[in-house]
Amino acid sequence: MKKIKVLILILLSFKGYTQVDSVEIIDTINYNNQEILVFDDKTWEFTEVLNKLNYLKKTADSSSIFTENWGKITFPYPTDEKTPDSVCISFDTKYDTFTLPHNNVLTSGFGYRRGGFHKGIDIRLAKGTKVKAAFNGKVRYARYNSGGFGNLVIIRHFNGLETYYAHLSKLLVKENEIVESGKVIGLGGNTGVEWSGTHLHFEVRYRDLSFNPQKIISLDNENLIAREIVLRKKDFHPAIQNKRKYHKIKSGDTLSHLARKYGTSTSRIVKINKGLTINSTLRIGQRIRVR
């Protein structure tokens, strides 16, 4: 028994974890009613943690959620999709957990405000503050966005939702990386909105349709409102229900510039503008559909 206690203390001194399939398991021990796996490279991990990681990786590798409408553009879903009458959002496994990205004062909510419609919520934070992933998922987008988001991380989750974390001073994850709820994905800042104070702009979207994050999460209690939530058509941002957007060409505009500005691709702009080709000459004053 004494030897087992010593072994536990040694194991607990190691940090990090190793995937089961990369090393050999040489022993298992119990600690506080939890099973610990011991590997041949002197690392260890709780069995439950590895089960979770393996489940997330296996599901992410096999699910069409992480292949269809997947790419390095801000809004990847077809622009002619109709807003559904209702959507059931489910958190139905024991691995579906929630972490508040940052706990502080809510400075701006979801809805109309001076200057237009605010498609997310703003949470006050100091520059360099850690920002965490709200749910388990896979990073679809992690780069600077010139459309106003600044340094932006977009994570797609296992139920099809996407969360947006904008204005970060530093990105700490890479595209296509699988992340767990609570993982630090970036540091707070005000990139993209240098004229305003530092804050986290946080959005939750379903197929590019934004809705109030407080429909599914409680900021006060820092948890999910329910394990299953039905969103109605009225819950989605009304201006996005018809997602067409146009741009009036100015001097210096190019298709690649418009694609970066509006978070799309040159091929998609060409596709949705009749008579436009990749080699077309843009005329000042010309009206181009960008979404």
Cβ atoms of 91 and 163 within 8 Å: the answer is no
Query: Facing residues of 161 across strands?
Result: 206
Both 183 and 232 in a single domain? yes
Token digits of residue 165: 């974390």
Token digits of residue 85: 């009458």
**Does residue 118 form part of some domain?**
yes
Cβ atoms of 132 and 184 within 8 Å: the answer is yes
Both 197 and 231 in a single domain? yes
Q: What is the pLDDT of residue 243?
A: 58
| Residue labelled with tokens 């939702």 | 161
Q: Which residue range(s) make up the domain with 236? A: 86-240
- Cα–Cα distances in angstroms (integers) from residue 24 to residues 7, 21, 46, in the given order: 18, 8, 15
Chain-wide mean pLDDT for the chain? Answer: 86
Cβ atoms of 119 and 203 within 8 Å: the answer is yes
Q: Residue 151 sits in a domain of what CATH number?
A: 2.70.70.10
Per-residue pLDDT of the chain (291 residues; tens, 9 = 90+): 334 444 443 444 333 433 445 578 888 888 888 888 888 877 888 888 888 888 888 888 889 999 999 988 999 998 778 888 999 999 988 889 999 999 999 999 998 877 678 899 999 999 999 999 999 999 999 999 988 999 999 999 999 999 999 999 999 999 999 999 999 999 999 999 888 889 999 999 999 999 999 999 999 899 999 999 999 999 997 644 445 778 999 998 999 888 877 767 788 888 889 889 988 999 999 999 887
| Residue labelled with tokens 């590997």 | 39
Distance spanning both ends of the chain, measured CA to CA: 67
**Does residue 70 form part of some domain?**
no
**Does residue 77 form part of some domain?**
no
